[in-house]
Structure 1
Amino acid sequence: MLDASADVEPLWEIHTPAGDADEDLSAILPPVARRLIGAVRGGTAGGLFPPVVTAGPEGTVRIDRLLGGAADARMLAHALTDQRFTPLLTMLERLDAWCVRATRRYSTVVAGGVLDVTNADLFGPMVSEAFVACATGRPHYARDRVAEWTERCQAFLTLFLDRLQRDMRTCWPGEPAFQGPVTGLWTHGEETHNGRQRVLRLDCAGGGRVAYKPRPASGELLFTAQGGAGSPASVFGLLNDAPAASGEVRLPVLSCWPGAGPGYLWQEWIEPPAQWGPIRASGEWRLTGTRLSPREAARFWHRTGSLAAATFAFGITDMIGGNVVTGTRPGEHEPLLYPIDLEIYFCRVSRLYDTGLLHDRTAEVDQHHVGLESSPRWCSAEGPAVCWHAETTGALRLYRRRKPCTREETRTVVADTGGRAGYGPYLPAMLRGMFDAWTLMCRQRPAIRRFLSTAASGHYVRVLRQPTFRYFDALVPRWLSGGGAAPVPAEPGVHFDRAELDQLRRMDVPYFVRSLDGGPVLRIEPPPRSFETAAVAAAAVETAAVAARPEPEGGWPPLPELLDGANLELAGLGVALRDAVEHVFDDVTEHVVTDESLGVRLHLQSPAEGQVGFDWPEVGRRVTYIWTREKVRLRIDAVDAPEVPAEPAPAGEVRRRLLRLDRLDGAIRMPWADGGMVDDSAERRLRTLTDTGIAWLSRVVTEHGWPGHTMVGAAAAAAASRLVQHARGHLDFRRRCLELMRQAAAGGDLPWREVAYLTDELRRADGLPQVYGTKFEPVAGRLEPYPIEEPDDVDRRRAAMGMESLADYTDRIRRRFPLTAKEAS
């Protein structure tokens, strides 16, 4: 049963009408609406409306189904007779008329049946947004906004089809896979730019797929375009063609080409690899992703390391999940990681975290769906903002989604056939790939500089003037009000200027660019709302200068020094290596490794302390990077010189002892708990072990502060939290630890849930109700939370600590710790 308590009040509700009401609607609904209802009944048009969701694993919501069948068709037909949906019916009629005209006009490039208003792949995002706006918004505003969206939808699609018709005759590639006509169109539903324009996917008659990107930022063309014989077409192509420096490098390139006019591009669609299968299973749930043999995984992570080094070198950012995917191109057998949305580059990137490839726990937004995910989580970073919940009465209630969606597949998590996810088990290969790419870029720096000096003209880079999530937080309430609410920032102290407000008012995510030649920050003028001919297509790419808000430190991209390759020096890789290690520190099985086949010598002591040496036989040297949290050093020795041992690090010893204490505790505690906690001898051993551990931890805290993630890694930091929780005395020290843990959590060095656990433990010790509901006792045959202060507000408090609802947590605890017959009695 879906726990709706975590959501706001229902936005709207539909019921099944009495009898077969939809049979009598022919005189009420217009013909296009009747056709739509018929398509829903037949199960082909459910994607035009929000999906029905149910409870998923680990606090997620799963898309259970799309609207379809006789019952849903009856409810929907009955709903559409409500006057509030008049703007939607008008939209359907206008889009239907446009489809009839466009089908005739573009018959040479688009197959019949594709341009149809019941085609959910094409019109789903537009119709669904209009449906929600009509259902939840004020009628006056919904009418005006839906009419505007209809015009912009027609303008966007007309501009796209004009470009397609022209480009297929002029600049389309000659590969058979990309030959037309287009047999399918799919619209990306997540965000719009520049007049409600979206990314489209084209299915070609030749079997290939192409992405259409209606924006001038063109990093794909500059970095990843595949060239033919002769001069390289992109930076990555140049590097792939260059002689190796310290080892083989393979960077991802793909077919992408500019349109015949400015302001857009076409790009090959990267398909999932053949190595595709389940990487996680739990009960009825299955998560599918890329699954490689150990040999394939080692090559994959070496090549991914090369990509990571290149993104760091060229200041490429926003490489979060969804913007990079694992896949293969036709004719290839082993997958690569492909950047498929490369808009932001030549930025200030001081850490590898800044690229978006790694999860930065201290970032403003806790975005763990990064480009290099190391955990096969059930949650997704995307999903519909509004969903239906099926009630026991048969009614459907519309809610704004508050929980993450369950994902059934992932293009960013890569596992091996042994079930190990991420690059942690292949860290030497990942680091070697970074080093090999870095030495190549350093050696090819003059060639890169020459290429960029001639290729940069006409290219643009996207400028994120504010984090995208702030724009989304302002857009959703405006959408749910039918466009009536002003776009107001959700955070205090944040404001939108006129250039941002102009775009937010038309429900666009604000979009700004800057030429690689420099100059002002620009916004893109959208195509006219009444738009039917190619003659005015140029209006879609006109730019207007924006009065820039205060520039970030270092300035807006592109940074001239990065265009010049200023950071391509051997020492410049050190910070990126340290960050790559820190990201997977707890996933690394061996912290001291010598891999002769790779020429890598790795010695890690804590997440931010260690060293890695790379043999470089071609120049007779071994290059070693040595780092702490504060600095990175470079040492160059003869390749056959004796290895210099790593200097001992206090954090390494703290980590080892915490993990050892935790293992000993678990070896005693779990059998004791499974046996009903009646073994007095085991209880005494646990108390002695805990008291000894607390005495040692108090000295650690005095000398080094709280052992959080950055000091000892996530696993050891969690062990420290458990040690403090398990102590039954030592109240003064535990209260001191609670304050230190709060400070650590505020700095992103500890999950807030650890603070919640200890808070409840100390409240119980003081004889007070718990705050977060983390502690349980057997009551009337089952586990129940100890008394909770202000229980009606507990889920809000838990959510603020990043925790699931109390109902979901209670269910999980009861399944994890079933009561024995003796305990239940």
Structure 2
Amino acid sequence: MTEVLWEAAAPAGSDDADPNRSAAAGKVLRALRAGSTGRLFPSVMRPTDDGLLAHERFLAGDDDAAVLAAAFATPRFAPLMELLDALDAWCQRASKRYHDLLAPGLLEVTDSGLFGPLVTEAFTACAAGIRYEADEQRLRWTAFLDQFLQRLAQDVTGPWFDQASLRLPVTGIEAQSGETHNGRRRILRVSMSGGGAVAYKPRPPGGELLFLASDDSVFAFLNSLPPVTGPVDLPVLRCTTGSGPDRLEYTWQEWLEPPPAQSGLIRSAPGRRLVGTKLGRRQAERYWHRAGSLAAAAFRFGIADLGEGNVLSGTRPGQQEPLHYPVDLEIFFAPIARLYDTGLIADAEAGDHHHPGLEDQARWCTVDGPVAHFTETTGGGLRLTRRSRPCVRARTRTVVADTQGRLGYGPYLSSFLRGMFDAWTLMCRHHEAIRAFLARAGHDRYVRVLLRPTAAYTQVLADRLTGTGPGLAPTADAVREPTPETGDRPATHSPAAAPGLSAIGTAATQAADMRRTVFSPDETAQMDVLDVPYFFRSVSGGPLLSVGPPHKTVPAPEDSQWAPASAFIEDRGRDLAGLGVALRDAVEYAYDRVEPCALNADGVGVRLLHRRTGQVGFDWPQARRRVVYSWTRNTVRIRTDPLVRPLPAADVRRRLLAVDRTDAALRSRWAASGFDDEETGERLQALTAAAMRWLQDVVHLHGWPGSALVGPAAAAAACRLVQHAEGPRDFQHECLRLIEQAACDGDLPWRQVAYVTDALRIRDGRPQLYGTKFRLQEGKLEPCPIEQPDRVDALRRSLRMEPLARYASRLRSRFEPQVQ
């Protein structure tokens, strides 16, 4: 059931000059009438048929203003009035003090980008009847903004801001939504008059500086090294510390925009559109190769929490093609054992939420969303309810599609895995240099430590803000008004989805379990001011620290495996074997979306037997070796084989045609004997078995031998070989996938797909689809059983084949005289 927090009917009118209302509230109401308050208040949302919540509109116009005006005049909203007045006064003071820094009129209490998260929170608490310490929250918020403006004034004259796009004045300040840390602080997006934007991050961890900085970071260092097995292009961004004595307490970071040239519609439905990154085939191959390198680096350095919102597809100024950027890199050197633990991919069986950093489905929902939202009532009133459904999104920065509508890296698996291997060999070759770099660059960096999943905190904070959790209720002097829907009955709670879910720990922890969690005094103290608890350590280890400054030492958790884990600094990445588990996880995650064309390319050969059983081999020409990883559910193995020189295409063509001629001669002799000539039958079986072993090598080295590689006659011979062979069954089905892709690419006639499909279905004991296989029945050729006889001609037509009756007539006229 929906938890109703507050409801009000539309009054006949309102008076902005009401003496019981604050002057700042009058400004807000006038802006609301004009439709310029945006997300200053909860938005109006509507439930959809598929169980989501869709944004309907922001509050705007006379009717909404009248509802809020009446509410503002009641004692319940007095704390909000105090907050608006205090924020308005601060805007006036700060505008005068920083007039040379800020564009005229920038700081206004009606600015939803800057004050929306705070005002929405205060409105929700007041509406729910929760005691809200407006003065305390205002002091924390304005102190945070004062500190930001002081730091900006101090740093903006330095070399990092010397780009023309970052020239003064500041034209916009936007507080990012989501949880707050470190005394109600948020990341700010700061827009400059030169057209550029930067992120201000008021927190001590330095993952972005250590790994992402474009001038001196681990990723920049790796990009500068000569490749070992292939090119490596890891994402980097401009970022820097401050310049004052508190420089290690905050960072400036280049704001990453969506890729304008590669943004496009990736899903649509009536009334809905989802826009994401959309790439051509060649671009997609390069994109997923680079994303694979990022995945290997994240696994190597224990980088976690790379889910939706923390890793984004985007382009930097002057960059032609997008990359996947971990823009929120706080948790690293974490004790992760699987690629799933990075948050880049999801393990549904383990309870991971389905919004990892490398999403492979264009879902309508998002993991983020408000704590509460409005719905409209009959008569123009508003009802504020606790959110109980996921929200609809209109844009995604984590789903990447190609122009054929294929999503994720599954259709480009070989490129993705090659990127992983190329990055890993580079890190192995330069392991000692990386250790030395970390020892030098990491001494004044910090790593965040999550004592428990973020959802365990955000669920409790949402309960506190709305008074809807177990044991929580509105204060005695603010009783919820009964409504026709709720009457005087207590509403049943429906847990809201948390604003963010961490990759550390399982994200599927039930809301009830979260609320039963016993928090430490240090966690509780931070949640008491509505912060998500924030702890960190030096990269070199040492005590667990709390927010500040001054940073307070807090009791460390009993589990000694929390970051930083020394193994990720000292040992992981030392040898090639360490990549095996990550490769298995990457293949398993993409298994349902892998296409035949993705199994053999870029010097990579993938064989998939089942979801959790397979192997991948990587050519290493410089070492004249092939590195092969194989795995089952419980084991991963590695071996190296000599790298066999690829056979010239002419040799492949000659052998295919020779095998085909021999097969035809033996098969004719065998048929003439009534299939009683055992010696000929055995010779046929030996021929096709040996030829299939050879064909596996050909496919591994060249891909499928289609018309472009070996010519039409030999390409048809390869398809006949697959039809006639007794096995191996898995490889035959892999060949069918490759033949389908070759037909899609115009490299084979579509009828070859029908021939091989029907042959394998019959061999598997199933009816054929296309009617290409016949048998002798009472001296007459008849089609083998067909799965859908009434649709067979339509299926044949889809593959540009003649009707079955005409095909059967030709076969009978050619072969029946020989068999009678």
Q: TM-score range by the shorter chain?
A: 0.7 to 0.9
Partner of 2:69: 77
Whether the aligned pair in 2 keeps the contact of 1:40 and 1:73 (CA below 8 Å) is yes
1:121 maps to which of 110, 113, 120: 113
How do 1:161-310 and structure 2 match up within 5 A? 161-170=149-158, 172-227=160-215, 233-260=216-243, 261-273=247-259, 274-310=261-297
How do 1:544-623 and structure 2 match up within 5 A? 544-551=552-559, 555-590=561-596, 593-595=599-601, 598-623=602-627
Whether the aligned pair in 2 keeps the contact of 1:474 and 1:489 (CA below 8 Å) is no
The letter of the residue matching 1:208 is: G
- Deviation, 1:524, is 1.0
Whether the aligned pair in 2 keeps the contact of 1:387 and 1:398 (CA below 8 Å) is yes
Aligned counterparts of 2:528 and 2:767: Cα–Cα separation in 1: 58
Partner of 2:6: 12
- Deviation, 1:480, is 1.3
Q: Decide which moves more: 615-624 or 233-242.
A: 615-624
How do 1:658-737 and structure 2 match up within 5 A? none
SS at match of 2:596: coil
1:415 maps onto 2:401 in alignment: yes
Q: Decide which moves more: 83-92 or 633-642.
A: 633-642
- Deviation, 1:568, is 2.8
Whether the aligned pair in 1 keeps the contact of 2:274 and 2:364 (CA below 8 Å) is yes
2:550 maps to which of 542, 552, 555: 542
SS at match of 1:64: strand
SS at match of 2:160: coil
Whether the aligned pair in 2 keeps the contact of 1:51 and 1:63 (CA below 8 Å) is yes
1:429 maps to which of 398, 410, 415: 415
Q: 1:281 to 1:245 in 2, by over 3 A?
A: same
Aligned counterparts of 1:551 and 1:387: Cα–Cα separation in 2: 39
1:406 maps onto 2:406 in alignment: no
SS at match of 2:306: coil
- Deviation, 1:486, is 10
Partner of 1:108: 100
Q: Decide which moves more: 174-183 or 318-327.
A: 174-183
Deviation by residue 1:130-160 (Cα, 9 ceiling, x = unmatched): 011111124xx22xx2221111111111111
Deviation by residue 1:394-426 (Cα, 9 ceiling, x = unmatched): 211000011000000100000000011111100
Whether the aligned pair in 1 keeps the contact of 2:334 and 2:563 (CA below 8 Å) is yes
SS at match of 1:206: coil
Aligned counterparts of 2:768 and 2:516: Cα–Cα separation in 1: 47
Whether the aligned pair in 1 keeps the contact of 2:411 and 2:598 (CA below 8 Å) is no
Q: 1:489 to 1:517 in 2, by over 3 A?
A: farther
SS at match of 2:191: strand
Partner of 1:40: 32
Task: Report which of the two structures shows the higher radius of gyration computed on alpha carbons.
Answer: 2
The letter of the residue matching 1:168 is: V
Aligned counterparts of 1:366 and 1:428: Cα–Cα separation in 2: 25
SS at match of 2:340: helix
Provide the aligned length of Structure 1 versus Structure 2.
Answer: 633
Partner of 2:319: 332
- Deviation, 1:61, is 0.7
- Deviation, 1:24, is 6.0
- Deviation, 1:47, is 1.3
The letter of the residue matching 1:242 is: L
Partner of 1:512: 535
- Deviation, 1:589, is 2.1
2:134 maps to which of 130, 133, 146: 146
1:461 maps onto 2:456 in alignment: no
1:503 maps onto 2:526 in alignment: yes
The letter of the residue matching 2:405 is: G
Whether the aligned pair in 2 keeps the contact of 1:473 and 1:490 (CA below 8 Å) is no
- Deviation, 1:431, is 0.5
Aligned counterparts of 2:732 and 2:559: Cα–Cα separation in 1: 40
Whether the aligned pair in 1 keeps the contact of 2:279 and 2:401 (CA below 8 Å) is yes
Percent of aligned positions with the same letter in both sequences? 48
- Deviation, 1:284, is 1.9
- Deviation, 1:446, is 1.7
The letter of the residue matching 1:425 is: P
Q: 1:523 to 1:664 in 2, by over 3 A?
A: farther
Whether the aligned pair in 1 keeps the contact of 2:10 and 2:379 (CA below 8 Å) is no
Which 4+ runs in 1 deviate beyond 4 A? 482-490, 641-653, 659-668
Partner of 1:389: 375
The letter of the residue matching 1:270 is: L
Whether the aligned pair in 2 keeps the contact of 1:489 and 1:495 (CA below 8 Å) is no
- Deviation, 1:601, is 1.0
- Deviation, 1:25, is 3.9
Aligned counterparts of 2:769 and 2:54: Cα–Cα separation in 1: 37
Deviation by residue 1:603-631 (Cα, 9 ceiling, x = unmatched): 11111111111111111111111111111
Partner of 1:696: none
Q: 1:665 to 1:506 in 2, by over 3 A?
A: farther
The letter of the residue matching 1:110 is: L
- Deviation, 1:649, is 10
- Deviation, 1:482, is 11
Deviation by residue 1:627-651 (Cα, 9 ceiling, x = unmatched): 1111111111111178779998999
Backbone CA RMSD of aligned residues: 3.0
Aligned counterparts of 1:350 and 1:649: Cα–Cα separation in 2: 34
Whether the aligned pair in 1 keeps the contact of 2:410 and 2:598 (CA below 8 Å) is no
Whether the aligned pair in 2 keeps the contact of 1:379 and 1:405 (CA below 8 Å) is yes
- Deviation, 1:49, is 0.4
SS at match of 1:474: helix
TM-score normalised to structure 2 length = 0.73
Partner of 2:501: none
Aligned counterparts of 2:640 and 2:522: Cα–Cα separation in 1: 51
Aligned counterparts of 1:179 and 1:343: Cα–Cα separation in 2: 28
SS at match of 1:542: coil
Q: 1:350 to 1:181 in 2, by over 3 A?
A: same
Deviation by residue 1:15-64 (Cα, 9 ceiling, x = unmatched): 2112xx22364433222111110000001113110000013363211111
Aligned counterparts of 1:639 and 1:89: Cα–Cα separation in 2: 75
Whether the aligned pair in 1 keeps the contact of 2:115 and 2:175 (CA below 8 Å) is yes
Whether the aligned pair in 2 keeps the contact of 1:470 and 1:489 (CA below 8 Å) is no
SS at match of 1:557: coil
Aligned counterparts of 1:151 and 1:493: Cα–Cα separation in 2: 31
- Deviation, 1:593, is 3.1
SS at match of 1:475: helix
The letter of the residue matching 1:418 is: Q
Partner of 2:91: 99
- Deviation, 1:474, is 0.8
Aligned counterparts of 1:568 and 1:129: Cα–Cα separation in 2: 49
Flag structure 2 segments of 5+ consecutive residues without an equivalent: 475-510, 646-693, 701-726, 738-756, 771-786, 789-820
